[in-house]
């Protein structure tokens, strides 16, 4: 690996797979810096990358792994030297297929260690007077810059952008800006390959792929004969639960027991709807807690920690299987829960295989997927229980109030539960004997007085 001095920093030339393509397939680097040796692997098409550092002595190592962002940062997560080598080799498996190669020129770049912080620089000359440059910043993402050189027919120009999380997106934005900056002074002929636009020319002159260089990360080896002194960790042996129990390996330092999914029986289904809802809620919360744990402890520290989290995930899957076996779970929600459990079972087997092969960082990703599916299954099972109660006629009905204390169940009877007595009809006063008979003389006197009063009122009005 070629290394050059850039001021006080040592820079290392990048090995780029598909450097003539618009987006590189894999970017690799290896060198000795920062008190040891390092290896970098970036996959721009998948928006992820790995950077490992093994200090002198080889007793321990550190790594950085990006998911959703591929701007490398300082490796601070601990890992064994053997696992660090496996991480670098695993990240280079399944190389993507060749992508489009429309732009002129090719990618080149270097990496340097700036105060124990990695920085990656890439550039591509896409026209005779236009260049696209990219730079990574730890914690800030990628920055792109397009510059246009001064010519007799154009003025110098520059445009840039920053804060891009992935290299692929930064390349796309830089190319779009380059078409505007360079397009003001050049034509399509200066920025496009003829073979990408002329089929006859492409058939007569097929583009030749760039020659692949030797993989520089092959030089990263596990240290031999180092780190065996005081404080060195014992060798790691991984075995399933049956083998460990048969040969008495359980509890021995350095032996990691990888539990199988069917190692224990499925818990019995809950007795009633209330118990089912309670267990479903506990399972859902425990699954969410395990998912958050795998997100913050990316990669985990040791294989023993990975096996412990795997044992916890196995218990969650078994409890979810017990929930859907309840006769109270019915309807479409139960089918959704069953499908989620099947996905969790497949992911658990993949995580178990990853732990057995020492790929703890891959196991963390699979266990997080198991937790998400179990949480979904628990929520669906709780809804399926409600649907099952409705179809079985187990919904709560309003209790009838007995007509009398003796007809109801024994116990305390409230006054408001007792039937009320009908109200008695209101009494009509009976006429007195004196008013029962009419008095003609008295009536005549009253009528005459009333007539006299009316005549007097009419005279006064006239």
Which percentage of the chain shows pLDDT scores above 90?
A: 21
110 and 177 housed in the same domain: yes
Q: Which residues fall within 8 angstroms of residue 89, CB to CB, at 6 or more apart?
A: 217
- Asked if pLDDT for residue 51 goes beyond 90, the answer is yes
248 and 192 housed in the same domain: no
192 and 311 housed in the same domain: no
Provide the number of structural domains found in the chain.
2
179 and 254 housed in the same domain: no
Give how far Cα 401 sits from Cα of 276, 405, 409, 415, 418, Å: 31, 9, 10, 12, 8
Which percentage of the chain shows pLDDT scores above 70?
A: 69
Q: How far apart are CA 43 and CA 402, in angstroms?
A: 76
364 and 314 housed in the same domain: yes
157 and 280 housed in the same domain: no
Which of 442 and 311 is assigned the larger pLDDT? Answer: 311
41 and 109 housed in the same domain: yes
175, 210, 245 — which closes off a domain?
210
Q: How far apart are CA 237 and CA 253, in angstroms?
A: 9
155 and 261 housed in the same domain: no
Among all chains, which residue has been given the structure tokens 């001021």?
Answer: 7
* Range(s) of the domain holding residue 320: 237-392
Predicted local confidence at residue 156, as pLDDT: 77
Q: How far apart are CA 379 and CA 348, in angstroms?
A: 19
Domain assignment of residue 401, yes or no: no
Could you tell me the pLDDT band of residue 379, with boundaries at 50, 70 and 90? confident
Predicted local confidence at residue 321, as pLDDT: 82
Per the confidence metrics, is the pTM higher than 0.75? no
Could you tell me the pLDDT band of residue 407, with boundaries at 50, 70 and 90? very low
Is the separation of the CB atoms in 378 and 320 below 8 Å?
Answer: yes
Coil, strand or helix at 388:
helix
pLDDT digits 0-9 by tens, 187-219? 555 666 777 777 888 888 887 777 888 888 888
Domain assignment of residue 432, yes or no: no
């Amino acid at each position: 690996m070629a290394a050059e001095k850039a001021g006080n920093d040592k820079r290392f030339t990048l090995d780029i797979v598909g450097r003539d393509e618009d987006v590189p397939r894999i970017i690799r680097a290896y060198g000795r810096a920062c008190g040891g040796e390092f290896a970098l692997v970036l996959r721009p098409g998948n928006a992820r990358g790995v950077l490992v550092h093994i200090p002198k002595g080889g007793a321990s190592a550190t790594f950085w792994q990006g998911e959703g962002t591929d701007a490398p940062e300082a490796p601070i997560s601990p890992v064994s030297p053997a696992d660090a080598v496996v991480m670098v080799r695993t990240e280079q498996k399944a190389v993507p297929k060749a992508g489009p190669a429309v732009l002129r020129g090719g990618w080149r770049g270097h990496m340097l260690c700036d105060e124990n912080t990695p920085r990656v620089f890439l550039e591509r000359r896409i026209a005779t007077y236009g260049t696209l440059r990219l730079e990574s910043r730890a914690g800030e993402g990628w920055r792109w810059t397009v510059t246009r050189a001064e010519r007799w027919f154009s003025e110098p120009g520059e445009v840039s952008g920053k804060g891009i999380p992935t290299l692929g997106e930064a390349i796309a934005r830089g190319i779009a800006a380059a078409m505007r900056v360079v397009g003001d002074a050049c034509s399509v002929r200066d920025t496009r390959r003829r073979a990408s636009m002329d089929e006859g020319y492409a058939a007569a002159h097929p583009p030749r792929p760039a020659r692949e260089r030797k993989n520089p990360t092959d030089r990263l080896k596990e240290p031999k004969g180092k780190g065996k002194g005081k404080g060195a960790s014992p060798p790691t042996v991984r075995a399933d639960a049956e083998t460990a129990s048969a040969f008495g390996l359980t509890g021995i330092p350095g032996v990691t027991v990888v539990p199988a999914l069917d190692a224990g029986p499925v818990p019995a289904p809950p007795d009633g709807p209330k118990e089912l809802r309670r267990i479903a809620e506990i399972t859902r919360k425990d699954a969410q807690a395990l998912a958050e744990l795998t997100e913050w402890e990316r990669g985990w520290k040791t294989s023993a920690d990975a096996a412990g989290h795997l044992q916890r995930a196995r218990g969650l899957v078994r409890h979810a299987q017990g929930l859907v076996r309840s006769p109270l779970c019915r309807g479409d929600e139960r089918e959704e829960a069953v499908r989620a459990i099947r996905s969790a079972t497949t992911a658990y087997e993949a995580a178990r295989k990853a732990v057995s092969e020492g790929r703890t960082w891959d196991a963390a990703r699979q266990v997080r997927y198991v937790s998400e599916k179990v949480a979904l299954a628990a929520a669906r099972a709780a809804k399926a229980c409600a649907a099952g109660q409705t179809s079985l006629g187990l919904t709560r009905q309003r209790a009838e109030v007995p007509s009398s204390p003796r007809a109801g169940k024994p116990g305390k009877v409230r006054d408001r539960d007792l039937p009320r007595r009908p109200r008695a009809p209101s009494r009509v006063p009976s006429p007195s004997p004196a008013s029962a008979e009419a008095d003609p003389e008295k009536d005549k006197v009253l009528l005459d007085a009333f007539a006299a009063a009316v005549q007097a009122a009419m005279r006064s009005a006239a």
